[in-house]
A = this chain, B = another copy of it.
């Protein structure tokens, strides 16, 4: 099959035009874009493609930046914890920071805007008792408690845009000037941003689609003195800080935003922390600002007859695609990088835009496209992971990035992407805007962030692997492609409005003490009573890792009566343990050929009741268990790194917890390496092979009707729903 459209390809001047045209045609491209360091070719008009161009609202006029240093972006950073060993203490402000990225702000009175804290006691040090020397950049605490530990939180100017810095250093751009980001919150800067944009649109008539990359504030990237990455928080609001913003915040919210509320003991409000009220307020304060100003730029774009799309990344802070104000920006689309199924859903589920676009991997960069490299394998892996998520909720377009000329010398790769783009278009067409079959009940992921961090739970840097989190990311990755409707709800949602009627199963997954598990929300009796009642009345509760963990009144897992298990943290070793597998053939283990791989998290889980169904033990501890509570049910899984097998465990756990195991065979593949999606409204169904081996599976319409399907490695087979007759 050959088809066309829904495909954006990076092109470049200087590449063989016929070769380029051939690839564009084979891939069915209908839009082109430039990339960092490439120009669009002259033949644009002849090509009759939509043309995308990146746009950087807060750094594309460096003249402005240099002429208005007081309107550069800022940040609060904190020195390392420093222990006093004498009666006074000197702390070097920029120690461990990269002086080409950040510069101490002495312009705003340090005594007013900075904060020195005794980290042994938690007390603020009286500003009268410390001083700062702008020449040396050293703060001297004149009177300290010996062997107490201190930090200084101070304002800096950002003197290098974080994305440009990263690309500059990574690609060794040499003496190319550093771009400085300016702050849209300053009225003169804002006026300039809007005027500059109008001029740019006028000057770039060939551009059809303005790809905002992105708006005003970059996620937090801080480099160290060796110009290497020191701190990366894809969700961090550090760059939104300025005395102006702090003053406006105080005027609006009626209290002073302490530096400590932002640097947060050096944790900088990582999303792994339960968010403080102050930080939530700050986020909302910036969300309002960013959405309002973005709306103006989008309006200008529309007035110029162009589309406005937003890149999900870089300067996306404050847009909050799942925040309440995001739709008010009025964007046509969001485009984002697709690392796997979860990141695809993070894009495709965004409300309030006309369409979404996924930029697939690999990037056409020399790190993958080198002689002897295998970009095709990466493309297939990326596609197979994304495909199962697309079947649940598709992006509307796909695309790639980088240097097409590099990709052109890998014919296998060109063919592979041709197949992927055809497969995508067929998929999209046969879905035709309808939703695949899912059971009636919904699944809710419960944590401290809820909807705002939809498909973003337990994530650190965008889709990178971390030993500490892969065990949990597997839950998200599994859910991204499972045939269930997923919502993200917060403990505050539960407090405010209880548990929505249509929720059948609640998932709580994370390490103790984190926002993903819930930390001290689990000491809130209203939350506990509400959740227990939900299960008692027939709901399902699935806990992964350290669900409901908060040491309180004799229990660590506050839902231990529901889960049937608790974690041994050392206080109950005197209780003799008789735990052994007593339910090895449990429904949730259907189709599993091997024991579940629980990743990092199998440790010291014990049963709290003889009723607990112990499904899998590992080195003496419970890894998988199930329980019932009233009319409801629960499943405990110690950890769930992503694999097709673990994904299936989760699906069956969901059905079982929802007491819906009788419906399990409704559109179901018995081979765990395979999945199906069925579009009853279009009459199409598809079976996919998530593995790189050939597979055979039974595809069930129900317990009585099935067909056998053979699948190639990573392959798929379409079928007509009415071909299964019973």
Contacts and interface: CB of A to CB of B under 8 A. Distances in A.
Given A145-B529, A270-B571, A513-B570, A122 B576 contact: no
A692 to B, nearest CB: 26
A467 interface: yes
A573 B270 contact: yes
Interface in A510-534: 511, 513-514, 525, 528-530, 532-533
A231 interface: yes
A600 B233 CA distance: 30
Contacts of A228: 576, 578
* Identical chains in the assembly: 2
Given A272-B571, A529-B148, A568-B468, A119 B554 contact: yes
Interface residues of A, number: 72
Interface string A550-577: 0111110000110000001111111110
A450 interface: no
A469 B668 CA distance: 45
The winner among A146, A147, A232, A236 for most chain B CB atoms within 10 A is A147
Contacts of A554: 81, 119, 151, 265-267
A715 interface: no
A647 interface: no
Interface string A117-129: 1011110000000
Interface string A424-450: 000000000000000000000000000
Nearest to A572: B267
Interface string A141-176: 000011111010000000000000000000000000
B574 A525 contact: no
A630 interface: yes
Given A147-B536, A467-B620, A553-B122, A272 B85 contact: no
A574 B268 contact: yes
Interface string A96-120: 0000000000000000000001011
Contact of A147 (B83, B231, B460, B529): B529
A229 interface: yes
A205 interface: no
Nearest to A226: B578
A539 to B, nearest CB: 12
A326 to B, nearest CB: 24
Given A233-B574, A460-B573, A573-B468, A536 B148 contact: no
Interface in A302-339: none
A571 B268 CA distance: 9
Nearest to A562: B83
Contacts of A568: 468
A229 B561 CA distance: 22
A285 interface: no
A619 interface: yes
Interface string A69-99: 0000000000011010100000000000000
Contacts of A621: 467
A273 interface: yes
A574 B231 contact: yes
Given A468-B573, A569-B511, A147 B273 contact: no
A573 B528 contact: no
Given A120-B553, A230-B576, 15 more contacts: A85-B536, A117-B553, A120-B525, A122-B552, A147-B529, A147-B532, A149-B555, A220-B574, A228-B576, A231-B575, A267-B554, A270-B571, A511-B569, A514-B569, A600-B603
26 contacts: A81-B555, A81-B560, A85-B536, A119-B553, A119-B554, A120-B553, A145-B529, A146-B533, A147-B532, A149-B561, A230-B576, A231-B574, A232-B574, A232-B576, A265-B554, A266-B572, A270-B573, A460-B573, A460-B574, A466-B573, A467-B620, A468-B604, A511-B569, A513-B551, A513-B570, A514-B571
Interface of A: 80-81, 83, 85, 117, 119-122, 145-149, 151, 220, 228-233, 236, 265-268, 270, 272-273, 460-461, 466-469, 511, 513-514, 525, 528-530, 532-533, 536, 551-555, 560-561, 568-576, 578, 600, 603-604, 608-609, 619-621, 630
